[in-house]
Amino acid sequence: MKHILLAFGLAFALSRGAEAAAPRDLSGVRGFNYFPASVTGEQIFLQYDDAEVNRDFGYAQKLGMNQVRTFLRYSEWSSNTPKFRESFVKLLAAVKRHGFQVMFVLAPPRPNAGASQVATDAQMTAWLNDVLGLARGHSEILAWDVANEPDWIGYADSPRAKTEIDSRMASARKLADFVHAFDRNYLTTVGCWNVACIEVAEPYTDILTYHDYSPTRELIAANAMRAKTYAARVGKPVMQTEVGAANRASPYDMALREYYRIGMGTYIWELMIGKSWGDSQGLFYPDGTVRDPVIAAAVMGIFRNEGNNRVLENPDRESWVTTPLQRGAKWLAAASPDWNEGLEIAETEADMLEANQLVAMRFPPTLAVQKLRLGPPNMPALRAVLQEYAALLTPYAGLGRQHGN
């Protein structure tokens, strides 16, 4: 087989009559894109830490996740092939250990200035022969994503030329043909930026995938319906491989709710709050805490009630607003108030604000109290916190108070 694959520049025209069929239904996919939080430049294989990867996969497993998507970069492989190979084998073992499947995104070499196409193809061939050979026989591999967003038009202030998009789409087909020729059991996909791209990539892909960071339910649903309708017509499975971005007004819980309703498998971007996209995307911190429990719940299919039957919290039902407010007022009026008593009042009020969903959680009130506890006594800061919390709680004092019988 290898001597055939060296002719990378040729278009493959092999019959795929004996290849493995793609799963008909991928609606049960609960996946995540993955780069360990410790890595820089998304170099997962050169900076691989097996303990960290298995720890992170354990976090995902707790939420019932079952798929992982990550990138295989030529640049990493060519920089240190032995390290890459060692890390690749360990990653596959971790995927299998946790009962996942993996989708690998192929990131080929970029042509160097002045380099011939023949030279670039030779680099591509050596890389692909190696990684595809390492992967052979591993059933934990779901598919090979032969191009990540080749149809992306760029940012408004830096648009991509049509020639570049056309070139990347052509490269996607070339890689898909290569993968299919290497092993007929291998499945391919293209991680399309726009849903329309799946129709262009369909002839050379086994699974249809696209990305959608739309800011409304209506747009997400419209794109998903278009994708599902087309997929049904061509008889191929379809799913989302990048979901969720706070900085694009596409919150995880909103998007995942729609995909659960529609019945489409998803991969969130991304599992860990890392160095590349951590300020806008990601679920887990390295210590296992989360950015927002709402995201974790959404991954498990648990969503906030948005119906007319919502029962709002009654914070002062048993005077747990009135009483701390009275204590806080007395503390603020005292000439020499007790530091520890003030902290207790502040923590009670903070807990009431959070438990009854009375404040935004960008800067949680309980965090402010915790910081006060950890530092030396700072009476002006504690006084300011108590005044702030009193102002937030006062509108709820005495409303609907109802003690038990």
Residues forming a β-bridge with 105: 71, 145
CA distance 145 to 209: 9
- Residue 284 sits in the same domain as residue 372: no
Q: Mean pLDDT check: name the lowest of 118-122, 141-145, 298-302, 368-372.
A: 118-122
| Residues 6 or more apart whose Cβ sits within 8 Å of residue 367 | none
Domain-located, residue 402:
no
Tens of pLDDT, residue by residue over 203-254, are 999 999 999 999 999 999 999 999 999 999 999 999 999 999 999 999 999 9
CATH number at residue 113: 3.20.20.80
**400 in Cβ contact with 356 (< 8 Å):** no
- Residue 234 sits in the same domain as residue 365: no
- Residue 290 sits in the same domain as residue 329: no
Categorize the per-residue pLDDT at 400 as very low, low, confident or very high, splitting at 50, 70 and 90.
low
**Hey, CA dihedral for 61, 65, 67, 71, is it positive or negative?**
negative
Domain-located, residue 272:
yes
Categorize the per-residue pLDDT at 15 as very low, low, confident or very high, splitting at 50, 70 and 90.
very low
CA separation, residue 376 to residues 340, 348, 350, 372 (Å): 12, 20, 20, 8
Domain-located, residue 47:
yes
Position 7 scores a pLDDT of 43
Write out the residue range of the structural domain in which residue 180 sits. Answer: 2-12+22-299
Which residue among 284, 299, 314 closes a domain? 299
CA separation, residue 60 to residues 67, 143, 268, 282, 403 (Å): 9, 20, 11, 12, 42
Categorize the per-residue pLDDT at 112 as very low, low, confident or very high, splitting at 50, 70 and 90.
confident
- Residue 391 sits in the same domain as residue 278: no
Position 93 scores a pLDDT of 98
| Residues 6 or more apart whose Cβ sits within 8 Å of residue 254 | 217
Categorize the per-residue pLDDT at 24 as very low, low, confident or very high, splitting at 50, 70 and 90.
confident
CB-side neighbour CA atoms (13 Å) of 132: 28
Position 17 scores a pLDDT of 43
Domain-located, residue 401:
no
- Residue 269 sits in the same domain as residue 340: no
Tens of pLDDT, residue by residue over 41-77, are 999 999 999 999 999 999 999 999 999 999 999 999 9
- Residue 251 sits in the same domain as residue 361: no
Categorize the per-residue pLDDT at 11 as very low, low, confident or very high, splitting at 50, 70 and 90.
very low
Portion of the chain with pLDDT greater than 90, in percent:
89
CA separation, residue 289 to residues 94, 277, 283, 315, 399 (Å): 21, 17, 9, 27, 35
Residues forming a β-bridge with 238: 208
- Residue 141 sits in the same domain as residue 288: yes
Position 119 scores a pLDDT of 87
Mapping DSSP to helix (H, G, I), strand (E, B) and coil, where does residue 245 land?
strand
Which residue among 232, 266, 299 closes a domain? 299
How is 52-70 classified by DSSP, letter by letter? HHHHHHHHHHHTT--EEEE
Across the range 195-209, mean pLDDT stands at 98
Which residue among 245, 267, 299 closes a domain? 299
pLDDT of 106 higher than 60: yes
pLDDT of 2 higher than 70: no
Domain-located, residue 259:
yes
- Split into its structural domains, the chain has a count of 2
Domain-located, residue 254:
yes
Closest CA to 106 of 126, 128, 134, 91: 128
Chain Cα centroid distance, residue 137:
28
Tens of pLDDT, residue by residue over 282-315, are 999 999 999 999 999 999 999 999 999 999 999 9
Tens of pLDDT, residue by residue over 156-174, are 999 999 999 999 999 999 9
Helix (H) or strand (E) holding 134: helix 117-135
CB-side neighbour CA atoms (13 Å) of 395: 6
pLDDT of 5 higher than 70: no
Domain-located, residue 176:
yes
335 DSSP 8-state letter: S
- Residue 26 sits in the same domain as residue 165: yes
- Residue 287 sits in the same domain as residue 326: no
Across the range 378-387, mean pLDDT stands at 98
How would you classify residue 88: left for phi > 0, otherwise alpha for psi between -120 and 50, otherwise beta? alpha
Q: DSSP E strands: which ranges in 201-326?
A: 208-211, 238-242, 266-268
- Residue 101 sits in the same domain as residue 176: yes
35 CB neighbour count, 10 Å cutoff: 24
- Residue 326 sits in the same domain as residue 293: no
Position 404 scores a pLDDT of 59
User: Please, what is the angle between helix 322-333 and helix 339-355, to 10°?
Assistant: 150
Categorize the per-residue pLDDT at 118 as very low, low, confident or very high, splitting at 50, 70 and 90.
confident
- Residue 133 sits in the same domain as residue 6: yes
Domain-located, residue 216:
yes
Categorize the per-residue pLDDT at 9 as very low, low, confident or very high, splitting at 50, 70 and 90.
very low
pLDDT of 148 higher than 70: yes
